[in-house]
Amino acid sequence: MGQTITEKIFSEHAGREVRAGEIVRVPIDMTIGNDITTPISIKAFEESGVEKLANPDGFAIVMDHYIPAKDIASANQAKISRDFAYKHNLKYFFDEKDMGIEHALLPEKGLIVPGDVIIGADSHTCTHGALGAFATGMGSTDISFSIITGGNWFKVPESIKVTLTGKPAEHIYGKDIILELIRILGVDGALYKAIEFTGEGIRYLGMADRFSMCNMAIEAGAKNGIFAIDEVSQAYLDERAEMNGGLRSEPKVYYSDIDAIYAQEITIDMASLSPVIAYPYLPSNGRPIEQAVEDDLKIDQVMIGSCTNGRIEDLRIAAKIVKGRRVAPHTRMIVTPATQKILLQAQDEGLMSTLIEAGAVVSNPTCGACLGGYMGILGDGERCVATTNRNFVGRMGARTSEIYLANSAVAAASAIAGKIVDPRDI
């Protein structure tokens, strides 16, 4: 009986063959914390009496949610992580001097390696499965257990096989594919399962698409999302290795066996998709762009960015659409590059000038607007088109506000029109 890629990663780490449903303790290759979640882990670490991290080079702290600090409380919260990082001379500590949203920054730095087991105290840690790693979110106390012991316990998840066929049409991206999948599965249809993306259509998907798709696996309840390594992802890894003087460790590349057992199999014909819009108040409330256009939805704000869609590809898409145009008078447009490197690259390519000249506001890399923390809060009754990953009640501000999840092309086109429009029509 064959194994899935996820089962193979756990087997290698457990030192024996394991199957879905087994509970195993395995070593953790990379543990990730941020300025919100890490202080709780630090408190538990210090209360344990342990003085040294079990795997100091396998622990990264990324300051990304409320950085630069928005108030005294967030400043003091950040200080806890900073003091801990300096005390332990943490190799992978990323603050304002080299900032970025964690799930974009760590792959960029060559710290995400195929075959790794990765955990983070952020639900969208599953992003890193785009590079053939098992990556999942866990609680802050789980993170403390990992940095104290070097390992953690898991129930090996069953897998859902998602076969992608066809070539996506213009302005169909990974965001549309994952929103369509979440519409099919519902917000708990993949509960504690791995979503494995496969099929001949994958060759049409760039890394930005794949990161977006794995990022939102959690929105269907999944434990992780994962792609096997192919020419596209290998080229990305090679580029990261060249930029950073190598990857953090030697990759271990796995592929699912042809006779692997899956809990469910789903096929999506990407060629038949229209841009998908997730209406409030669930990511599973996906509808085709044609319905949104018919509904004539006036919008107050557009937000392009986040760990889901803040990559250079997203900024290129948005800039191409808004070039020579202006954001509608009654609409605000916020653009948040996911890392400083992406911001600089966008600047070098002239994208920043194009976006700002169109009327957009460009922020530093931060999770702030996405989680309703700061720099983009919605007021009562306001409506926002966002390239983020969640549109729950009150997610970006007032409980009466509305968030419509969409790809970067839809968001940019809608900012110009002042209402949700199909980017293929402009």
- In the chain, domain spans: 5-268, 277-425
Per CATH, 5-268 and 277-425 having the same topology is answered yes
User: Distances from the Cα of 109 to the Cαs of 96, 232, 340, in angstroms?
Assistant: 15, 18, 12
DSSP 154-194: EEPPEEEEEEEES---TT--HHHHHHHHHHHH-TTTTTTEE
Write out the two tokens for 47. 């209360």
CB atoms within 10 A of CB 1: 8
- In terms of Cα–Cα distance, which of 70, 64, 72 is closest to 35? 64
- In this prediction, residues 18-38 reach a mean pLDDT of 96
* Torsions phi, psi for 298 (to 5 deg): -70, 140
pLDDT of 196 > 90? The answer is yes
Residue in the block written with tokens 């998907």: 205
Asked if residues 159 and 191 have their Cβ atoms less than 8 Å apart, the reply is: no
Q: How confident is the model at residue 426 (pLDDT cuts 50, 70, 90)?
A: confident
The answer to whether 299 and 200 are in contact (CB under 8 A) is no
> Is pLDDT above 90 for 1?
no
Task: Encode pLDDT of 85-121 as tens digits.
Answer: 999 999 999 999 989 999 999 999 999 999 999 999 9
Q: Residue 290's CB: how many other CB atoms inside 10 A?
A: 12
Reported as a single tens digit per residue, the pLDDT across 114-162 is 999 999 999 999 999 999 999 999 999 999 999 999 999 999 999 999 9
Write down the mean pLDDT value for the chain: 96
Which pLDDT score is estimated for 113?
96
- Residue 360 reports pLDDT greater than 90: yes
- Residues 404, 292 contacting (CB under 8 angstroms): yes
With b for 16 or more beta-carbon neighbours within 10 A and e for fewer, the 10-36 pattern comes to bbbbbeeebebeeebebbbbbbbbbbb
Which amino acid does the sequence have at 109?
Answer: K
Q: Is the pLDDT of residue 353 over 90?
A: yes
Q: Domain 5-268 in CATH: superfamily?
A: Aconitase, domain 3 (3.30.499.10)
State both tokens at 65: 């949610």
Residues pairing with 303 in the sheet: 334, 386
State the fold for domain 277-425: Aconitase; domain 3 (3.30.499)
- C-alpha dihedral sign at 44, 47, 48, 52: positive
Check: CB of residue 235 under 8 Å from CB of residue 177. Answer: no
Q: Which secondary structure element, helix H or strand E, spans residue 27, and what is its range?
A: strand 23-27
Q: How does pLDDT run across 250-293, given as a tens digit for each residue?
A: 999 999 999 999 999 999 999 999 999 999 999 999 999 999 99
Other C-beta atoms closer than 10 Å to the C-beta of 71 total 10
pLDDT digits (tens, 9 = 90+) for 286-343: 999 999 999 999 999 999 999 999 999 999 999 999 999 999 999 999 999 999 999 9
Q: Cβ distance 368 to 349 under 8 Å?
A: no
How many beta carbons lie within 10 A of that of residue 82, not counting itself? 15
- Sorted by sequence, the CB contacts under 8 Å of residue 210 that are 6+ apart come out as 130, 174, 197, 227, 232, 233
Question: Which segments of 270-366 are extended strands (E)?
Answer: 276-278, 286-288, 301-305, 332-336, 361-362
Residue 404 has pLDDT above 90, yes or no: yes
Q: How far, in Å, CA of 320 to CA of 413, rounded?
A: 10
